[in-house]
Chains A and B, each alone.
Chain A
Amino acid sequence: MEKGCFETRIKEFRARRGWTQEQLATEVGVSRETIIYLERGKYNPSLKLAFRIAKALLSSIDELFIFKD
């Protein structure tokens, strides 16, 4: 299984909103561990989860996730 092929700016956008990882996790309906993995770029989220995170952080998917080929 591919372990992540992108960098994310989730941490940066989360900090802008003043949210903890726990708050973001609750907002998008995942565990805090999943947010940790996402921020480290070690988990490829589904499109649905990516949209939910982007919406929660008042951002867009292409702003949050930077694909590394």
Chain B
Amino acid sequence: MLGNPKWFKRRKYTGWGLTPITWQGWVYVGALLFAIFFISAVTVWLNVPTVYQIGIVLLVLAVIVLETIDISARINSDERETVHEALSERNAAWTMAVTLMGGIVFQAIVSVLHGQLYVDPFIIAAVLGGVIAKGISSWYYIDK
């Protein structure tokens, strides 16, 4: 896409994403924010129905997320950084998995106490998604 990986570094200590390290990076981030603001303003000015306004903004955000993923993938990191980043990602994944499982158990217990079993399907989907991602990764990296 348009962003140059040399303009950014990967976030290490504050979650995921990119941090600009050059003025070009900051200009690029500013341009993306301006794009969101401009497109939102145009949709309001043209009296586009609210549902479509939200859809358009979500589309722009999706493009920005894809751009971030693309730049992140193109940032060069050496093998030590890659290994340590993978370990950090593993720790993050385990923390999220334990938290999600705790959420499922908590919701199940509370809902049963109120007379009807209910667990948020998004939490279940997140856990299943993780299980599928782990299975595919294991197949690709270990067995293939």
Q: Are B87 and A34 in contact (CB under 8 A)?
A: no
Give A7-43 interface residues, CB cut-off 8 Å to B: 29-31, 33-34, 37, 43
Number of B positions contacting A (CB below 8 A): 6
- A43 and B80 contact, CB distance less than 8 A: yes
Are A30 and B78 touching (Cβ within 8 A)?
yes
* Chain A interfacial residues counted at CB < 8 A: 11
Q: Are B79 and A30 in contact (CB under 8 A)?
A: yes
Residue of B nearest to A29 (CB): B78
B120 interface residue per 8 A CB criterion: no
B62 to chain A, nearest CB (A): 33
Q: Is the interface of B mostly helix, strand, loop or mixed?
A: helix
Report yes or no: A30 in contact with B87, Cβ–Cβ below 8 A: no
Does B143 make an interface contact (CB < 8 A)?
Answer: no
Which of B78, B80, B81, B87 has the largest count of A CB atoms less than 10 A from its CB? B80
Our pick among A1, A29, A43, A45 for the contact of B87 (Cβ within 8 Å) is A1
**Least CB separation from B83: chain A residue:** A1
Number of interchain pairs (Cβ within 8 Å): 20
Would you call A49 an interface residue if the criterion is a C-beta within 8 Å of the partner chain's C-beta atoms? yes
A contact residues around B81 at 8 Å (CB): 31, 34
B79 touches A49 (CB 8 A): yes
Chain A CB within 10 Å, residue with most, of B79, B81, B83, B87: B79
Which residues 39-83 in B have Cβ within 8 Å of A in the complex?
78-81, 83
State A15–B83 Cα separation when bound (angstroms).
28
Complex-state Cα separation, A45 to B87, whole angstroms: 16
Q: Please name all residues of chain A whose beta carbon is closer than 8 Å to the beta carbon of B87 when the two chains form the complex.
A: 1
Top 7 A-B residue pairs of the complex, sorted by shortest distance between their CB atoms: A30-B78, A34-B80, A34-B78, A31-B78, A43-B80, A46-B79, A49-B79
Name 16 interchain pairs, CB-CB below 8 A, sorted by A.
Answer: A1-B83, A1-B87, A30-B78, A30-B79, A30-B80, A31-B78, A31-B80, A31-B81, A33-B80, A34-B78, A34-B81, A43-B80, A45-B79, A45-B80, A46-B79, A49-B79
